[in-house]
Amino acid sequence: MKLDYKPHKILLNFTALILFALTSCISKNTPPDLTFVSVQAVDWHNEPELPGLDANPLRSMAGDYFLVLKGGLVSSGEKPHHLLLKVNFESKTNLDELALRRSSDLVSSAFKCSDKMRSIFSTPSPQIGQGFVYWRNNELNPYNGNIISDHSGTEGSQITYHIFLYLTKAASLFDNRVQPGFDLLKQPEDVCFSVGGFNPPFGFESNIVIIPKASIVMALQNIPTEQK
């Protein structure tokens, strides 16, 4: 009997098994209570938590808050004028503390609600979010420490966070496939997002939050002066 040996199929099956093993260690709906609050159009140039063109290369290793404490510059040079959407959301969970407790990073993932692959641990096509989570103009990441608990009496109360979304992106090539672009200025639609973190093989991901198309349309009626 002749065996039908197809290495590419074996590799695909092995890859699928690895992905299944990893995603099976993901805590879903953690936390489960993220709720949309508001969205507004902003200019990158005017947002203090967003870096300039010459961002300090130590940001990814030390964090903004630590650099400021030590007298270092987070960024230098001119900040670009670039139209973004700033999305405010709430949760009773201290996301900073959750990520630290799990020795994980903290990221956000935003995508069109019509996308089939809607998870931080998949590759949405296309990715609309900038990728970070902020609290009171501070980027939340393990290197910044638990700045929420250190500087706020928010225990047990609703905490307001925000993320940033891009409005346009050209089509690009990803993994030898064309990743379609998007243009929320010309074609606004519902956008979904979640936050979470990953420290292999374990991770967590919040509930999915919807930013209604109507809210995006309304936000784009109040574009910053510099962007008009």
Q: Is residue 138 part of a domain?
A: yes
Q: Considering all CA atoms of the chain, what is the largest pairwise distance in Å, rounded to the nearest integer?
A: 75
pLDDT band of 141, cuts 50, 70, 90: confident
pTM score, whole prediction: 0.79
4: in domain = no
Residue 202 lies in a domain: yes
Number of domains, the chain? 1
Would you say residue 173 lies in a domain?
A: yes
Closest CA to 105 of 162, 148, 143, 58: 143
Between CA 92 and CA 108, with CA 113 as vertex, the angle to 5 degrees is: 45
Within a domain: 26:
no
> Token digits for 63?
């964090």
In a domain, 196, yes or no: yes
Instruction: Let me know if residue 223 belongs to a domain.
Output: yes
More confident: 52 or 83:
83
CB atoms within 10 A of CB 148: 20
Q: What is the mean pLDDT of residues 157-184?
A: 86
Q: Estimate the share of the chain in helix, then strand, then coil, as percent rounded to the nearest 5.
A: 25, 30, 45
Lowest mean pLDDT among 4-8, 24-28, 122-126, 189-193: 4-8
The two three-digit tokens of residue 159, written as one number: 């905490």
- Domain span holding position 157: 31-51+80-227
> Does residue 183 fall inside a structural domain?
yes
